[in-house]
Structure 1
């Protein structure tokens, strides 16, 4: 789980409202430079004392984590830990050049907590520190200027920083930070569906979803005509006789179809665009979010595929009517859509909620 630390130092009159929002959204840490601000905070939140530019007090009050700058404070975290065994200590490093980058790498390897501030906008130094910390037991918390930067920090080198510290500009930003921290996508329970029939239905518009990611051979996106039933469409990672492979692409289906996106939301294929997020899913139900580079919508012949789940739920998928458009079956078997026949097994997903503007909701909804 990614950590969200909220920096409330110097917030003035907005501090109390932002603190209440932080506690409501269960951020993992509140960062202060006045020990009095920690009084009354619940035990469910880490009380982080970061006296940047100030002298260290003799005692640390209610603080559970204290971040120090050894060069400015004149004492190491190891020395402080001997004097105050009840407190966790971490090191602050501001990265501005090669020397301070090495300091950050050393902190990442040896300290329980490393609080990092990168002055340059490039994320390459953060990549280096994350790599240096690969086998360490400590935690990296990186300072972000806003939620957009926090989202990037959480994803650097696919692992990301263990946490982000951010000073909110206004009430409302705490919830966005927490959402960014919880961006890991839950895995799905896929179901074996049995094909009941297929039908050539004439012309229509279909969408190819071109992403900014290489799909694996057992991976694609879930697509369906109805929000409660989808089939796993494989990417173009498998060889074709007349064209090169395009491992970033899923020939996904007719434009009315649903696919899964962030926060369990569905999107129509027709509304995806550059920068949209879609959920990539493999045959084991493991998921990740990928970014759409573009969507190609073109008029093509279409085929309607009907399937049924073991408990009788019906699923429909409309694809381009061409054998090179494929879906995935149990064990990662690649099936050409035009060769599907009754009794064949494909992998699918059966959401239980109905949808309102794409969001799951518990209400009556009949789809045909």
Structure 2
């Protein structure tokens, strides 16, 4: 298993738009192009892996400039083919339709350098079994996906995901969709240290708890702030509390007017979130992952306003529920109770560089205070 997520685009049925699809694939830095005719690779740069896939096992004598050939059957079954092409790298294709073919897939994942897997049924449990069986194996698993939505799921199965996805590139936009799926799961966001300058009790108001469908780690939370150019990392309720059980899926996030960050750098007001929305979970190192919202609870509570400043002078404000158990994160994953914050304390935050219009970054004059 590999840490690098691979994007393979299947152009075997691209037809008359093959050239345009390949141009987009190169632009999107697609890792591999899959074809049945080696002539399809003409003009591709060396940065793109050229893969021939023959599901019927019938390999032509001329493999052209291909880097890798994928065929059904194990190493013994392709002895003659390998002898005929001693300089070619081979991998195994397996279509999983029952328990026997699932075992074939597990064997391929453990023994082959490359395994291309096609699962007949929509359940992802067989893929989970293969990924578990391949734990520690040096090879790469490439799983077919019908579209971007399925590709995103395949990339995330068992949190490890398939090493790569093979998706059909039959029209313009498919290469972009595949690359988007590969990068949607994880990324990084720049965090900075903020110095608290004031903590003010401001009376009653409406605050939002964001209940997600995931289990936050102890060093994770979501970014929340009153202004689009400055946010604070609010921790989940993963840490023990003296009067109530932990709720590791929840972030008691802030007043309902506050911004939070979702995928693609877009912001949303907490009041806009609903079941099925997506927010960005962020850890203290800046690593991110999209998580789904299961529920948002907006209730009237006493509020506290936290003011802070970054080293560059950027002011940041966060309005939270005025209660000891509502917390933010500091350097080293320290957990800080909001009602105990005082001038001079250090908390973690993020400073987006662009203003916002309906949640999207835009370069225009915008004064927030």
TM class by shorter chain equals over 0.9
Aligned pair 1:45/2:48, yes or no?
Answer: yes
Contact 1:254–1:318 under 8 Å retained in 2: yes
Give structure 1 regions of 4+ aligned residues with deviation exceeding 6 angstroms: none
Decide which of 7, 10, 16 is 1:13's aligned counterpart.
16
Whether the 8 Å contact between 1:146 and 1:168 is mirrored in structure 2 is: no
Question: How far apart are 1:47 and its partner, in Å?
Answer: 1.3
Match of 1:64 in 2: 67
- Point out the more displaced range, 157-166 or 217-226: 217-226
Name 1:125's counterpart in structure 2. 126
- Deviation (angstroms), 1:348: 1.6
C-alpha displacement of 1:79: 5.2
Rounded to whole Å, the distance in 2 between the matches of 1:292 and 1:122 is 23
Counterpart in the other structure of 1:93:
94
Partner of 1:230: 231
Residues 79, 351 of structure 1: alpha-carbon distance in 2 compared, 3 angstrom cutoff: farther
Q: How much has 1:346 moved relative to structure 2?
A: 1.6
Aligned to 2:204: 203
Contact 1:80 1:89 in 2 (8 A): no
Q: Please name the residue that 1:192 is paired with.
A: 193
Task: Find the residue that maps to 2:7 and give its secondary structure.
Answer: strand
Normalised to the residue count of structure 1, the TM-score between the two structures is: 0.92
Question: Are the aligned partners of 1:225 and 1:258 in contact in 2 as well (CA < 8 Å)?
Answer: yes
**How many Å separate the matches in 1 of 2:304 and 2:281?**
23
What pairs up with 1:253-292 in 2 under 5 angstroms?
253-292=254-293
Shift of 1:135: 1.4
Q: How big is the shift at 1:184?
A: 4.1
Paired residue for 2:247? 246
Aligned to 2:183: 182
CA contact (8 A) 1:219 1:235 kept: yes
Determine if contact 1:77/1:90 at 8 Å carries over to the other structure: no
The CA deviation at 1:78 is: 5.6
SS of the residue 1:295 aligns to? strand
Deviation at 1:298, TM superposition (A): 1.8
Given that 1:330 and 1:347 are in contact with CA atoms closer than 8 Å, whether structure 2 keeps it comes out as yes
TM-superposed CA distance for 1:307, in Å, is 0.8
- Stretch of structure 1 that moved more, 151-160 or 258-267: 258-267
Residue 155 (structure 1) aligns with: 156
Whole-angstrom distance in 2 between the partners of 1:330 and 1:138: 38
Question: Is contact 2:306-2:318 (8 Å) kept?
Answer: yes
Residues 267, 78 of structure 1: alpha-carbon distance in 2 compared, 3 angstrom cutoff = farther
- After superposition, the Cα gap between the structure-2 partners of 1:110 and 1:39, relative to the gap in structure 1 and judged at 3 Å, is same
2:330 equivalent in structure 1 = 329
Stretches of structure 2 that go unaligned for 5 or more consecutive residues are: none
The question of 1:357 aligning with 2:358 is answered yes
TM-score normalised by the chain length of structure 2 = 0.92
Q: Is the 8 A contact 2:237 2:249 kept in 1?
A: yes
Relative to 1, partners in 2 of residues 1:85 and 1:255: Cα closer, same or farther, differing over 3 Å?
farther
Gaps of 5+ in 1: none
Give the Å deviation of 1:306.
0.5
What is the root-mean-square deviation in Å for CA atoms of aligned residues?
2.1
CA gap 1:267/1:244 in 2 versus in 1, 3 angstroms: same
Give the conservation status (yes or no) of the 8 Å contact 2:224–2:258: yes
